[in-house]
Structure 1
């Protein structure tokens, strides 16, 4: 029973080692196959995560099973830093996603989103031109609005207004309700020629060109932030569970480290 902690750490790290291999392979595969900005953005985090898991797992596995105390100490140090990092990110995720929500419209099944409703930190990220160009490229290559058009192309104007659109569809693929444009199809709207000054600047940015639409609009950025907010809330909840698991594993690792030190002390004592 005294060595149970060493065996548990060894088993857990062996499983993590196996997990790191497909993650690393997926990252390398993406680096060779990537042909869009979205895929290129994903490849580096996957490779880094795969290498990190591989090295940490090896340190924990060798340290626990081969009684290499310094490796187990290094493993525990990394685990402690990881616990602090996950805890900090979880708090950060809750803080930056605390603001922002869609605006319900009378007679509409969907909501509309305003960039100013979200946290300043998130706003600054999407207002960066270089960052937004990359995000916009991802949205376009993912055929967000072409799928949106195909899905609702047969809708009458009344039917379209009753649809429950996603935040990205609402923000990027159609003009704001403030514009009062005339509906032709989900991604084609006629501007009101009698109205030159719009209260919403997004109305001037709308274009029926499938490559333009409202991808440069504030509403599109807000729709993305709403999507991020929803995802980050889910990630934060998962992180809490992950944090509990990390603390349990760290505690077991501390027991294994203590066992290693006891063994080393006994060996030194037996040789004297």
Structure 2
């Protein structure tokens, strides 16, 4: 039984270590360009990571001191957490499967449209109440001011690989036909397009295209990219957790078998 408990203790120590990348992914998202203004996935990740840490520690202590109730708690609780983690992985995959940018002629950067994203992501920014807070957060960043420092000539700007939020929020949509002066100052065309985003553009450095749907789409594109990166970490972690959980179940069963066999032998001595 001692050997089986040692195995359970060892795999629970690994589970403790696996909680670190989950918590780290949640903390990393709090500093992400989009997630810092749209707080949604960070806390579920951090909470799940902390719960896995607590449950793994309970299993480690139960194996080390041979406390059977803690081991049973570990097996049940870890199974529930793994199921929740798998559900989160599937959910993130489903809501980020759509949202690729659109290529415009003679432009290196992409354009983004709200209809290209999943309904769940669109609802994060659709209402004016939600967007007002996000817009205020975005306007306090220096993502647009950086463009003025980096690009002076129109062709250099058109050849730049902008982030989705810079493409959507810091300039008017390409289809509007504005004339470049600098990255955040554009001359309006004589015949304004019917697209509302073309009318929303404002050369005021505090407004720009923060009220545009293209800005919302750019933020969702950034959000999608960050969530997909976090999901890679979750997929790897959940696979390893499932493997060590199966090993833990086998070790626990062997420990119970060894214990029954030991009691059986004692009954005949």
| Structure 1 residues 238 and 19: alpha-carbon distance in aligned structure 2, compared to 1, 3 A threshold | closer
> How much has 1:104 moved relative to structure 2?
0.7
| Structure 1 residues 12 and 253: alpha-carbon distance in aligned structure 2, compared to 1, 3 A threshold | closer
Q: Deviations over 1:185-235 (max 9, x none)?
A: 11111223x33x532111121112222111221111111222222333333
The reply to whether residue 251 of structure 1 matches residue 209 of structure 2 is no
Q: What TM-score, normalized to structure 1? A: 0.79
The reply to whether residue 99 of structure 1 matches residue 94 of structure 2 is no
| Structure 1 residues 3 and 220: alpha-carbon distance in aligned structure 2, compared to 1, 3 A threshold | farther
The reply to whether residue 157 of structure 1 matches residue 157 of structure 2 is no
Q: CA RMSD in A?
A: 3.5
Alignment of 1:139-150 (within 5 A): 139-150=138-149
Residue 182 (structure 2) aligned to one of 168, 182, 185: 185
Check whether the contact 2:38–2:134 (CA below 8 A) recurs between aligned residues. no
Query: What is the match of residue 70 of structure 1?
Result: 69
Alignment of 1:153-232 (within 5 A): 154=152, 156-192=153-189, 194-195=190-191, 197-232=192-227
| Structure 1 residues 103 and 114: alpha-carbon distance in aligned structure 2, compared to 1, 3 A threshold | same
Alignment of 1:46-57 (within 5 A): 48=47, 51-57=50-56
| Structure 1 residues 87 and 18: alpha-carbon distance in aligned structure 2, compared to 1, 3 A threshold | closer
Q: Which runs of 5+ in 2 are unaligned?
A: 27-34
In 2, Cα distance between equivalents of 1:99 and 1:20: 29
In 2, Cα distance between equivalents of 1:10 and 1:244: 19
In 2, Cα distance between equivalents of 1:182 and 1:213: 14
Q: What TM-score, normalized to structure 2? A: 0.79
| Structure 1 residues 69 and 249: alpha-carbon distance in aligned structure 2, compared to 1, 3 A threshold | same
Check whether the contact 2:37–2:134 (CA below 8 A) recurs between aligned residues. no
> How much has 1:80 moved relative to structure 2?
1.2
In 2, Cα distance between equivalents of 1:8 and 1:133: 53
Query: Greater CA deviation, 175-184 or 5-14?
Result: 5-14
Check whether the contact 1:96–1:122 (CA below 8 A) recurs between aligned residues. yes
Q: Which runs of 5+ in 1 are unaligned?
A: 28-36
Superposed structure 1 runs of 4+ greater than 4 Å apart:
2-5, 15-24, 39-47, 263-272
